[in-house]
Structure formats: C-alpha cells, structure tokens
Structure 1
C-alpha cells in the first residue's frame, strides 16, 4: 500500500490535484467554504454515525445526516452513485479496507484526504488510505461460569474439550474474517507454530501450507457454532445462568451488553499468542461530491476526540495517537491492545484476492 503523505485536494475552486498533508491547514477557511455548500450524507456501518453527524451539525451549523449502511451495501452504492454522477453518500466510513483498496480507490470512486494538522498525529501506516480507527474482535469467556478464561492457548480451541463449544461469526458471511485468516498466515504464522509447540510440547507437523492454515482447519473441524453476527456469539458466551457457556470470538463493541443485557463477558486477556485481532475503518470522500469542503470538514472532525468519542464507547481505538480510550470503555480493550494481531493494510490487496480461496478452505473443512 502506498504510504505517501498525500491528501487529495477537494477545496472549492481547486481542480483535482493534490495537497501535501504537511502544508498549512486553515480550519476557519474550511468552515467558511463549507457554509456555502449543500448538506451531505455520511455512510457508516454503525448506528453511532447518526449521533456523530448530529454532533457535527450542532457544532458547525451545517446539515449533515448519518446513515447506517453495511459495508457490502456501501460498496455497491458508492460505485453506482459515482457511475451515475448522482452522489448520495459524500463521506464513506468503511471497514472493508481490502475492497476499498481493490475496487473504490483505483477506479476513482473515492479519494483520500488527510487534514494537514493531523499528519503528525496519525501513524504513517494509517494515512494513505486514511484509517480513522482500528476495530477489534476478541476471544471472550463467561465471567460468571469461570474465575478466569478457561483457555490459555489458541490450539486448545481445536481440542475435543471444546468441540461444539466455540462460537464465532461465519467466515463465509463476513470478509473481515477471511482477511484475518490471510493476515494470520502472512504476518503471524511463526507465532501460530510457536503456540502449537508451547501447548503440545513438539513441533507442528502438517500437510497444510502453513501453521495458520493448520490451525484454521483444526478449528473448523471442531464443530464451532458459526453465526450470522456478533449478537448470537455474545449471547452464547455471555448470557447469565449458564453451566457450560461457549468460548467466543466477537466484536469488542458487544461488551456493552454486560450493562445493557446483564451479560458476563470477559476478555481472554492471557491467550497465547493473541487475545484477538484488529481491522481498520477507512474515512474516504466521494470523488464526485458537490460539497467537498463539508466532506473534508467532517473527515477532520472524526479525527478529533470530540468527533470519534461515540464510537470509542464501543471499543474502537482512534488512529489519532493524541486520543486516549476512555477508562470506562466496557471491554477494557486498551489494556490488551498490545496483545492483538494488528491489521496491516500493506497486504490488503492480497487479503482481497484470497478471500474466495479462504472461504473455500473453511467450507471444505467446516464440521457442524
């Protein structure tokens, strides 16, 4: 992935070109220009975007509407809107980074913009394309049923004791899961092999092409509960009153169910070699938006603590390193952030290209 610190110029009166992020950034001028433009819509896969858009509108006196749209629908809508020159979604906040890298950016449907005053705050690997947050899926257990997480190594999840007692979102329905498989093999294979040796006391011998593939196969063959979303996983793991609850892999956002639904979710904080993995949410601007300055202003806003706070409550970690995750974030993710397999977008195109291959691999090996 390109790592040039470049922000595409979308300022009114400036033709399509580029603006270096480190150049002077004039927020007042951007606000003034935005006030001359029409209202915009924001696409995001979380309902929190409604609150974020309302906060932005109240702050700047501009009309912005937040719309909850799934990542898959976002892709289709952005492409069709651009092709018909009828843009409805002016800013897209999308968690399907590989698809954006493969389908949206190369075709010019969207453009990358990094506000100049954020260049020193956003790590380079999150700048082009711009990631506004990293999101996490973590292994969880039921704190009512267990004093601590009952597994300490990912290979335990492939053993008979946990046959039919591991829950996760069906990898055939969510691209981030097959992306995780590919990231696991590409960037974490040695640690998967080391975890095998640590648990079984011997080197891994497998006919599969990698230690990661061997673990994924073993997990699939251990009859996990593959669900259509994170809610069923959260219930299977965290619902109160269970004698033998599931171990589960789910979004850190679901830990709010501890308060909302009385669940007993806890993070497997000492799981070897990772407690979970991350994926990123990109913030991109529709190339044919008729309100480019308002779109730029919104991107700037969500890179600030005020702008991103509603999503931090769901365990989203801002890429702006000046912003700290609140102490009362339900999952306690900040305490285990260094134990997550971090997403590397440098190999995002390979993640996208190999999705079907990993889906087939899971499909062939999955046992109910």
Structure 2
C-alpha cells in the first residue's frame, strides 16, 4: 500500500523498517522490479542537479516514483544522520561526493548500507565495492590550448618551480576535501611514484625532512602561491579563457571542458608524470531504515548502467562499472586517458578522514600569496 507522498514538501511517511544489503544476494531484476512497485516512492540525494532528471527517467522506465534532490555532501550527511537519529527516515538513496565522511559518519554508524548488484560485481574493481562507488569524478591538470600546442607541464614537480609561482589555479584545499584526500591517497599508496617522478625530472633523489615525498610536494606547491578559487568555474576561467593574458595551468573537474564549445580553451595535461589527476569516488548508499529497500536497490542498479549514468557521464564522470564507457558527447576526451589518472583506494578511507586536518595544516603553514 502506498503511503502519502507530498512532492512539494518532499516528505515520505516511513514505517521505519530495517533491512541489510548483502553483496552475495542472488540477483533477479524482474523480481526486484515487481517488489519495488509495491513500495513507497523514493527520495534520492546527489551533488549534481542531473539527479533530478535521472530520477524522472527512472520513474518513466520502471513506473516507480523517484524524486531527485541536489545537495552538497555535508548537507546530505546531516540530513541522513538526523533522520536516522530521530527514527524518521525519509531519504532512501544518496550519492555522496565525500567517501571518507560517508564511511566514518554514515556507514560505520549503521545509518546507511552499501549494496553491490550481483550481476555487475565482476565488472567493478574491488577498490570500488566497499563501499560501492557509483561514479568516479576526474579532476585533471589542465592548460590553455590557445597559448600552448601541448601542456607545458610534463611532470608534477614542475608545478613547484619558480616559473609557475602564482601561475597555478585550483580550488582552495581548505574548502575542497577532495584535494586533501588526494594528498593522503598519494602519500599512502603512490609515494614511491612521487619520489620516482622527482628523480626522473631532476636526475637525483629527493631529500626532504617531511614524512613523505608527497608531503614535500604539497609543501612546495603551497609555497609557490597558487591562485586559490572558491569554485571550479573560477579556476577554469583563469586557465582557459580565450583572452587570458597570464599563462596559467591548474586543477579542475572535467565538467568544465563543456565550456570549450562556448570559446574556452581547455586541454588535458595528458602523459604528465606520475599521473594527470585523480578519480574521486562518490559512494552510492541506501538508508538502513528505508521503507523501500527494493526500489532503492533498483535505483542503484539503474545508476550502474550506461542508460542510468549517462547524464553525469556527459560531464566526464565515470561509472565504476567497467563495461560502461563515457558518452560520445563528453567534452574533455578523458576516456582515452583513464589509465593515467590516480585511482582512490577505499581501503584507506579511515586514514583519509583522520589525516585531513594534518594535510590542511601542512598546506596552511606553507601557503604563500
């Protein structure tokens, strides 16, 4: 029996039923669809406005009502936490662009669960199954194609050289957890590659008093006085504006390459060592006390298909389902350089969370305007 659903109020009256998602459950899509049609409509949160249309498309496909709501990660986490604590759960599914916070603040507390469809497990890397990563967002080093025929940066350590002082644009790491998480992932899993990149560029081993090659890089980058912006759009404008007079390179989301059709001149620094950027994971989770467990799992399954994720794929966001390629109309061309991106290891999400403040402190203490 359907319960009252007020679209304007975005309110679902739930019965507080509990369920647990097991990754080894046998999967029967048709049975799930049939069960989902008997459940309440679902509310889905995500950091992109595309989720509104994705929910509408899901409803049209399955005849199961879903409403998508755009919200940033801290807001989504707060909503889910408060509803769980009040035993008044209204949210059903969430994509959260903050994997460490999702792990520590939601999954560990039992407010949400992670479910991996059995029919897709073989096509999803183990690094993206616990928790399930629905999308991987590429953030890449970029340059102005009107000023350079190829990217002037071929090695990440060049960004610390005097030539690029005040010539690097990126969002402020103090307001962009993605970047400090990237620092910790680099130090935890790729520090040997950072050290080797230094030696390849300068012909000698790195000497540092810091605890890792990555920490030395972060310190030097901060000391080089990057232009810190409040948004990807501002960083992209500094890098790729057609009439820009200063020669900037910078770190931006592939979504900003859509602006090339409007005159921007953004290019990817492909073949940059040791990697050209990173793939940041957005877990897809289901609230533990959702009143619509089958509809919620069906929505996750839908997002893991080429049809379901296409609207986000146009921005360069990649599915963790390795059978799903980016749409042809994706603007940056990142698909061909996927193997050059640093991948996140979800095994160290707890460390990413615990070390955030340390990386922020290292950045703050060394940043020079």
For the criterion TM > 0.5, the same-fold answer is yes
Q: 2:72 aligns with which of 51, 57, 70?
A: 70
- State whether residues 191 and 212 of structure 2, in contact with CA within 8 Å, keep that contact through their aligned partners in structure 1: yes
1:244 positional shift: 2.3
Q: How does 1:30-179 map to 2 (within 5 A)?
A: 30-179=32-181
- How many Å separate the matches in 2 of 1:20 and 1:248? 39
Matched, 1:244 2:225: no
C-alpha distance after superposition, 1:111-144 (max 9, x if no partner): 1112222222222222221111211110000001
- State whether residues 165 and 245 of structure 1, in contact with CA within 8 Å, keep that contact through their aligned partners in structure 2: yes
- How many Å separate the matches in 1 of 2:221 and 2:126? 35
1:65 positional shift: 0.7
- How many Å separate the matches in 1 of 2:308 and 2:229? 32
1:24 positional shift: 3.1
C-alpha distance after superposition, 1:12-70 (max 9, x if no partner): 9x97455453x432212211211122211111001111111111011111211111100
- How many Å separate the matches in 1 of 2:51 and 2:124? 21
- State whether residues 45 and 94 of structure 1, in contact with CA within 8 Å, keep that contact through their aligned partners in structure 2: yes
- How many Å separate the matches in 1 of 2:205 and 2:23? 50
- State whether residues 130 and 346 of structure 2, in contact with CA within 8 Å, keep that contact through their aligned partners in structure 1: no
- How many Å separate the matches in 1 of 2:278 and 2:60? 35
In terms of mean alpha carbon deviation, does 120-129 or 102-111 score higher? 120-129
RMSD: 1.6
Change (3 A) 1:165 1:58: same
C-alpha distance after superposition, 1:85-123 (max 9, x if no partner): 222321010121111111111111001112222222222
Matched, 1:353 2:358: no
- State whether residues 145 and 243 of structure 1, in contact with CA within 8 Å, keep that contact through their aligned partners in structure 2: no
In terms of mean alpha carbon deviation, does 302-311 or 111-120 score higher? 111-120
1:243 positional shift: 2.9
- State whether residues 168 and 224 of structure 1, in contact with CA within 8 Å, keep that contact through their aligned partners in structure 2: yes
Matching residue of 1:8 = none
1:194 positional shift: 1.5
- State whether residues 23 and 115 of structure 2, in contact with CA within 8 Å, keep that contact through their aligned partners in structure 1: no
- How many Å separate the matches in 2 of 1:267 and 1:135? 15
- How many Å separate the matches in 2 of 1:17 and 1:273? 40
Matching residue of 1:222 = 224
**2:178 alignment partner, SS class:** helix
- How many Å separate the matches in 1 of 2:153 and 2:229? 21
Matching residue of 2:4 = none
- How many Å separate the matches in 1 of 2:40 and 2:135? 27
Q: How many residues align?
A: 354
1:283 positional shift: 0.7
- How many Å separate the matches in 2 of 1:268 and 1:227? 20
In terms of mean alpha carbon deviation, does 322-331 or 104-113 score higher? 322-331
Matching residue of 1:258 = 260
- State whether residues 145 and 242 of structure 1, in contact with CA within 8 Å, keep that contact through their aligned partners in structure 2: no
**1:120 alignment partner, SS class:** helix
C-alpha distance after superposition, 1:129-183 (max 9, x if no partner): 1111211110000001111111111111111111101011111001111110101
- State whether residues 141 and 251 of structure 2, in contact with CA within 8 Å, keep that contact through their aligned partners in structure 1: yes
1:328 positional shift: 3.2
Matching residue of 2:328 = 327
1:82 positional shift: 0.9
TM-score in terms of structure 1 length: 0.93
- State whether residues 18 and 289 of structure 2, in contact with CA within 8 Å, keep that contact through their aligned partners in structure 1: no
- State whether residues 238 and 245 of structure 1, in contact with CA within 8 Å, keep that contact through their aligned partners in structure 2: no
Where in structure 1 are there 5+ consecutive unaligned residues?
1-11
Change (3 A) 1:243 1:252: same
Matching residue of 2:3 = none
1:237 positional shift: 0.5
- How many Å separate the matches in 2 of 1:82 and 1:62? 24
TM-score in terms of structure 2 length: 0.92
